[in-house]
Amino acid sequence: MVRRKLIAGNWKMNCLSADGVALAKSVAAQVKAGKFDCEFLICPPFTLLGLVKKCLRGSKVGLGAQDVHFAEKGAHTGDISPLMIKDLGCSYTIIGHSERRVDHAESNQLINQKAVAAHAAGLNTVICIGETEKERDAGKTIKVCQTEINGSVPADSTAKNTVIAYEPIWAIGTGKTPTAADVQEVHAAIRQALAKKLGKATASKMRILYGGSVKPGNAAELLSLPDVDGALIGGASLKADDFIAIAKNASK
């Protein structure tokens, strides 16, 4: 089964206009100049989506948001609807990132609702799951991932509209990563959980990204694993050269 790798940058709450424009332009130019056999996505903060879209015009780099509300519109102060995101030129949104699960107490049920709304609006979703360090130490990693898959991935998910990102929380922004064998084991278990929920055919086509301290130095090993179909990159996506260096390993 050939799954085209997705190299996605999650800028998180970083960049003002000038930095965001420079970063997006540099990524777009390097993608255009190079030879890559992967799909690219960058997810700037909401405030920069319109500006970054302009920088990506004519490039193969897709645009995504970092979150979305489940309602179409209405009295939800401070929130952004799927159609608003679509209107700005996004094709994707991240949902259920651990920073949102923790900072905003987002539940699997809420994430599921958000994914349904995003899909209904024609957006693709990157649904994030992953265990804490305590859960890993207690041997609960696979159980936690199964529970999060069951709760947050909606029944309408297809290999086209949904990408899963496995991000061990203890590996995010810490410089620590699981061993390659551990990553492969968890990704295979995630694919099994997806098969149980969505059927074997869908699960075998659905992309599962790894996220958590992906850098140019560890990308080759991580991206060569059979069930790793790309990366969700935080810190290293803020440097165009690092982001591109990581992507070079997805093209092999």
Written as six digits, the tokens of 89 are 């030129």
- Minimum Å gap between C-beta 72 and ligand PGA is 27
Neighbours of 243 (CB within 10 A): 25
Of 39, 99, 131, 167, which is the active-site residue?
A: 167
Q: Does 234 bind ligand PGA (CB under 6 A)?
A: yes
> Angle CA(228)–CA(55)–CA(231) in degrees, nearest 5?
10
Q: Which of 129, 172, 219, 228 binds ligand PGA (CB under 6 A)?
A: 172
Strands 6-10 and 92-95, bridge-based pairing: unpaired
**Is 69 assigned a catalytic role?**
no
Distance of CA 12 to the CA centre of its chain: 12
**Is 72 assigned a catalytic role?**
no
Strands 124-129 and 39-43, bridge-based pairing: unpaired
Q: Does 44 bind ligand PGA (CB under 6 A)?
A: no
* 149 within 8 A of 128, measured Cβ to Cβ: no
Contact pattern from residue 184 through residue 223 relative to ligand PGA, giving x for each residue in contact according to CB under 6 A and a dash for the rest: ---------------------------xxxx---------
Q: Does 233 bind ligand PGA (CB under 6 A)?
A: yes
Backbone angles phi, psi at 12, to 5 degrees: 55, -145
Dihedral in degrees, nearest 10, Cα atoms 85, 90, 95, 101 = -60
- Minimum Å gap between C-beta 238 and ligand PGA is 9
* 164 within 8 A of 94, measured Cβ to Cβ: no
Q: Does 235 bind ligand PGA (CB under 6 A)?
A: yes
Of 69, 97, 119, 187, which is the active-site residue?
A: 97
Contact pattern from residue 130 through residue 169 relative to ligand PGA, giving x for each residue in contact according to CB under 6 A and a dash for the rest: -------------------------------------x--
Structure letter (DSSP) for residue 212:
S
- Window of 62-70, 103-111, 145-153, 232-240 that interacts with ligand PGA by CB under 6 A: 232-240
Active-site amino acid positions: 97, 167
Residues of the shown chain interacting with ligand PGA in the complex, contacts defined by CB under 6 A: 10, 167, 172-173, 211-214, 232-236
